[in-house]
Chains A and B, each alone.
Chain A
């Protein structure tokens, strides 16, 4: 695969690799993705807008330059003084690959981190070196003003130009809670969405605070994805109940949607509306209760995104798919090509059982 290095959300030549429920692999122009869906299906997207989560400033005690990358929060529902997990880098910027970034000065609880008129305090060391919890001691209105003024979207070494905030907001972006873009949603445009009713396909959203996708530290990266806050509107929970009863498929736009829906249904076979914090990984051992297919970017083997696909398709099907991605030089990363992976087809009996209220 090759890196997509230009922030065009819907390139005309974007491609789609499809792994169907029988493990067959096919390819199509991505613009045709809706043709793989059927009447009665429900498309669920993550409407999180992306924060300008990278702050350049200095470590108060030493005066050393740092970059703070806000990484995750267990809830964005603050009245004041928002607190979140963050990764701290030393001198340098995104043009150095994350893995090669310098460590920050030694950090301690109580340290001030200063970004112009925005100040954070280290409230916890989450891992030695660079992973901390920080709090911004200020009224909420001031926090958003200062973040808007000083923050930049998290940048990527493979991009030709730095990303602006508008580059990292999807069409459906609503609540600014994601630390990196829920990038599968880049394929959505209003023309797509307006065409859904005529196709008999429903559309719903949830908000999932997608966390930092890479920390530059191998041990920390093993802890990804971080615990992530989500909120499922009642209208979305209702649409899912209805799709399941009608035998329609639930199509998740992005791995964050899979994570939120499967977490919300972890105690039964029904998605509860409201807020939650998604924990743990989805992998080959996960029994999917809600999501029938995921539309996602192309991911390297071994990444947590790739592991999640093993809940949907057999290793054999995924290997065939991965070989096709390599052979045909699919583009990877945030603005790359896409995959649509359907869940292994189950026997009819098992499928029917799922539609019933939890019998256990």
Chain B
């Protein structure tokens, strides 16, 4: 279990990061990007075969097979991620579900498909973040990190027909992130939303099969921007001076 202090070179060096949905699209690009910046990367995905493949492609990364939409799987995922390196500094809730495929108007959407979008896009991130909050708070107290990034979408704020289940679930995730960020401020944990844009990914292909890939963003470019946002949040979080916070609060009490 690596407790080494991150070096000055890159804010992510030596940080322990968990990425959900890490075997395809943005998540897969994130695993590479984080690894290249010296982070200790663990990733989660549903397919054991895909997890094994990516674990082979990215040496020193920890692959965890599990479904974040499954309540029973959350603590098993958290245990593996925390046990491997003794804690966690950054969590990226990236795994997403479109809901109905092909996309459908809300009136044609099966309740089960809507539930699947909520389970993956809202309850999964809620449960996983909650299970890992103790570790993230410890990371913040030690001045290492304590950052959660929830992957959002412009569908969370714009009303696109046929994107009802996805858009509503991402809107809920966006708002949950904002509220939780307020509640966690005193603990030094930061939660942020990140909209990666329309990317050339398997998920986008499912949603808009006719889209021309040339007009879409490369996942690598979005991953780079996300890592940059994490680095900024980590930089701002240090030093997590709980004494200073205590004094400020005591002075204003």
A: which residues have CB within 8 A of B?
A: 39, 47, 49, 51-52, 76-78, 140-141, 143-145, 147-149, 164-166, 169-176, 190, 193-194, 196-205, 231, 233-236, 239, 242
Q: 4 closest pairs, A vs B, by CB?
A: A197-B249, A174-B135, A165-B75, A148-B76
**B64 A77 Cβ-Cβ under 8 A:** no
Cα A47 to Cα B86 in complex, Å, equals 11
Smallest Cβ-Cβ distance to B51: which chain A residue: A145
Contacts of A173 in B (CB 8 A): 134-135
Contacts of B141 in A (CB 8 A): 204-205, 233, 235-236
Partner of A144 from B80, B88, B138, B186 at Cβ < 8 Å: B80
Q: Answer whether A197 and B186 are a contact pair too, CB < 8 Å, given A169-B134, A171-B134.
A: yes
Q: Answer whether A200 and B134 are a contact pair too, CB < 8 Å, given A144-B83, A164-B75.
A: no
Q: Answer whether A165 and B79 are a contact pair too, CB < 8 Å, given A140-B84, A174-B138.
A: yes
Cα A172 to Cα B131 in complex, Å, equals 9
Q: Answer whether A239 and B243 are a contact pair too, CB < 8 Å, given A77-B1, A200-B253.
A: yes
Partner of A165 from B76, B88, B135, B186 at Cβ < 8 Å: B76
A305 CB, nearest partner CB in chain B, Å = 23
Contacts of B143 in A (CB 8 A): 235
Smallest Cβ-Cβ distance to B72: which chain A residue: A164
- Cβ of B201 within 8 Å of any chain A Cβ, yes or no, is no
Contacts of A234 in B (CB 8 A): 142
Interface residues of B in 55-75 (CB under 8 A from A): 55, 62-65, 74-75
Cα A78 to Cα B83 in complex, Å, equals 10
**A202 B135 Cβ-Cβ under 8 A:** no
Cα A144 to Cα B81 in complex, Å, equals 9
B: which residues have CB within 8 A of A?
A: 1, 3, 55, 62-65, 74-77, 79-80, 82-84, 86-88, 131, 133-135, 137-138, 141-143, 183, 186-187, 242-243, 245-246, 248-250, 253
Contacts of B248 in A (CB 8 A): 197
B36 CB, nearest partner CB in chain A, Å = 20
Given A141-B55, A193-B137, A196-B246, 20 more pairs with CB closer than 8 A:
A47-B135, A76-B86, A141-B62, A145-B65, A147-B79, A147-B83, A148-B76, A149-B76, A165-B76, A169-B75, A173-B135, A174-B82, A190-B187, A193-B187, A194-B187, A197-B249, A197-B250, A203-B242, A205-B138, A205-B141
**B253 A144 Cβ-Cβ under 8 A:** no
**Sampled A-B contacts (27; CB under 8 Å):** A47-B134, A47-B135, A49-B79, A49-B134, A49-B135, A76-B1, A78-B1, A141-B55, A141-B62, A164-B75, A165-B76, A166-B131, A169-B131, A169-B134, A172-B134, A172-B138, A175-B1, A175-B87, A194-B186, A198-B250, A200-B250, A201-B246, A204-B141, A231-B3, A233-B138, A234-B142, A239-B243
Q: Answer whether A47 and B75 are a contact pair too, CB < 8 Å, given A175-B86, A200-B246, A200-B250.
A: no
Cα A147 to Cα B64 in complex, Å, equals 13
Contacts of B245 in A (CB 8 A): 197
**A194 B183 Cβ-Cβ under 8 A:** yes
B101 CB, nearest partner CB in chain A, Å = 30
Cα A349 to Cα B39 in complex, Å, equals 51
Smallest Cβ-Cβ distance to B80: which chain A residue: A144
Contacts of A141 in B (CB 8 A): 55, 62-63, 80, 84
A134 CB, nearest partner CB in chain B, Å = 17
Contacts of B137 in A (CB 8 A): 172, 174, 193
Smallest Cβ-Cβ distance to A195: which chain B residue: B186
Cα A147 to Cα B250 in complex, Å, equals 44
A4 CB, nearest partner CB in chain B, Å = 22
Contacts of B82 in A (CB 8 A): 49, 174-176
Most A-side CB within 10 Å, residue of B55, B79, B187: B79
Contacts of A52 in B (CB 8 A): 79
**A198 B253 Cβ-Cβ under 8 A:** yes
**B76 A190 Cβ-Cβ under 8 A:** no
Contacts of A197 in B (CB 8 A): 186, 245-246, 248-250
